[in-house]
């Protein structure tokens, strides 16, 4: 392969967006010191990464796992633990808190319990 192109890599990675992500990840690995699996001709790291992908000299599945692991900011277990720490012990949300007070203050309404309501209904039906 004199010059690597995207078409050379499409047989290995069908989606061009995936190819970009995988090649970038492999280039980062090479920059961080991982050994190159092909003979390098003093090429830039992204070109080497694309050549390795096209030649299938590296494991694409392992590279995908590495990409996923690097994109995660929290592992699922850590995320669950943080959610549990933030959760209150009891349900504190009550949308009706303060409604009775606000309704009484805004008008001449009064709160009637069930027994009073039943008595007033009975007195109306007896008339």
Both structure tokens of 80 = 């669950």
Domains, the chain = 6-74 (3.90.940.10)
Rounded Cα gap, residues 22 and 27, in angstroms: 9
From the number of C-beta atoms within 10 Å of its C-beta (0-12, 13-18, 19+), residue 21 rates as middle
The pLDDT value recorded for residue 106 is 60
pTM over 0.85: no
What angle (nearest 5°) sits at the alpha carbon of residue 42, between those of residues 25 and 58?
35
Cα separation, 98 vs 5, in Å, equals 68
The pLDDT value recorded for residue 1 is 45
- pLDDT of res. 94: 66
pLDDT by residue, tens only, the chain of 127 residues: 457 778 888 888 989 999 999 999 999 999 999 999 998 888 899 999 999 999 999 999 999 999 988 887 766 666 666 666 666 666 666 666 666 666 556 666 566 778 888 888 888 877 6
């Amino acid at each position: 392969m004199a010059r690597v192109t995207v078409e050379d890599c499409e047989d290995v990675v069908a989606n061009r967006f995936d190819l970009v992500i995988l090649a970038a990840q492999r280039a980062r690995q090479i920059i961080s010191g991982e050994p190159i699996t092909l003979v390098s001709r003093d090429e830039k790291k992204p070109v080497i990464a694309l050549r390795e992908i096209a030649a299938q000299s590296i494991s694409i599945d392992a590279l995908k796992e590495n990409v996923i692991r690097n994109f995660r900011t929290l592992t699922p277990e850590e995320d669950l633990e943080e959610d549990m720490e933030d959760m209150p012990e009891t349900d504190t949300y009550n949308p009706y808190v303060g409604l009775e007070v606000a309704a009484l203050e805004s008008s001449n309404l009064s709160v009637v319990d069930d027994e009073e309501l039943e008595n007033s209904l009975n007195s109306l039906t007896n008339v």
